């Protein structure tokens, strides 16, 4: 007997992402190249209306092979956990058939994001198995420019990553991140674009 309770949920990328990534090389060698792609996706994502100005990619750390991309799909997916990091990590894990991206015999994987993860994605990144995290920046600018709430992050978040074998690299194309956040903030001011969960949550 079924009670008709929901049985499944999924997170899918918006259709435009395939178009935007069509010409991207299979390997992104430098941190700069990796972050440039993240910024391009983030800048387009909020204009397409799918979610906030956030994107992430998973690459093989050493070879630069692009494994997956993610954008914030909270609005298009109708799901609060649909942040860019969760989307990119989940797609990478499904593609590789491994919940642990740092499992035995696997190359080291890297998550590249256009700001320090929020409190949800902090946990998601810790449990993902990635060996390195690259962020365009961290600090109060994101919340100030966009109005998003990153949650009660621990002040020693980077140290906690390092302690678990995840190296942290900051300040890669930081100015580009701030420009995208400022553009988003201007759009919100002008058109009243949705900053979802106004009760104080979630990038
Ligand atoms: Zn997040």
Express each pLDDT in 136-183 by its tens digit.
999 999 999 998 888 999 999 999 999 999 999 999 999 999 999 999
Give the distance (Å) from ligand 1 centre to CA of residue 84: 7
Distances from the Cα of 73 to the Cαs of 50, 76, 95, 107, in angstroms?
A: 5, 5, 19, 28
CA of 202 to the centre of ligand 1 (A): 6
Under 8 Å between Cβ of 34 and 58: no
d(CA 190, CA 151): 26
pLDDT for position 201? 43
- Of the candidates 61, 89, 86, the one whose C-alpha atom is nearest the C-alpha of residue 72 is 86
Domains delineated in the chain: 25-150+157-188 (3.40.140.10)
How far is 82 from 5, CA to CA, in rounded Å?
Answer: 21
Contact yes or no for 69/56 (Cβ under 8 A): yes
This prediction's pTM: 0.93
- Contact status, residue 54 vs residue 115, Cβ threshold 8 Å: yes
Distance 71 CA to ligand 1 centre (A): 10
Confidence of residue 2 (pLDDT cuts 50, 70, 90): low
Q: What distance in angstroms lies between residue 121's CA and the mean position of ligand 1's atoms?
A: 4
Measured in Å, residue 3 CA sits from the centre of ligand 1 at 33
Could you give the CA distance from residue 35 to residue 115 in angstroms, rounded to a whole number? 10
Euclidean distance between CA atoms 168 and 92, whole angstroms = 20
> Across-strand partners of 167?
132
Q: Measure 24 CA to ligand 1 centroid, in angstroms.
A: 25
pLDDT level of residue 191 (50, 70, 90 thresholds)? confident
**pLDDT tens for each residue of 42-54:** 999 999 999 999 9
């Amino acid at each position: 007997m079924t009670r008709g309770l929901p049985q499944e949920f999924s997170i899918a990328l918006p259709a435009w992402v395939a178009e935007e990534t069509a010409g991207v090389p299979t390997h992104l060698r430098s941190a700069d190249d990796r972050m440039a792609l993240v910024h391009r996706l983030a800048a387009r994502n909020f204009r397409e209306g799918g979610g906030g100005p956030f994107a992430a990619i998973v690459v093989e750390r050493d070879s630069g092979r692009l494994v997956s991309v993610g954008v914030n799909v909270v609005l298009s997916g109708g799901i609060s956990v649909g942040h860019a990091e969760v989307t990119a990590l989940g797609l990478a894990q499904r593609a590789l058939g491994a919940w642990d991206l740092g499992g035995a015999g696997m190359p080291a994987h890297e998550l590249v994001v256009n700001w320090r993860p929020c409190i949800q994605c902090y946990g998601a990144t810790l449990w993902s198995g990635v060996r390195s995290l690259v962020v365009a920046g961290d600090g109060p600018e994101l919340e100030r420019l966009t109005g998003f709430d990153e949650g009660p992050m621990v002040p020693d978040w980077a140290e906690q990553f390092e302690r678990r074998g995840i190296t942290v690299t900051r300040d890669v194309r930081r100015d580009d991140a701030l420009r995208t956040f400022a553009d988003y903030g201007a759009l919100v001011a002008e058109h009243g674009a949705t900053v979802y969960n106004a009760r104080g949550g979630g990038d």
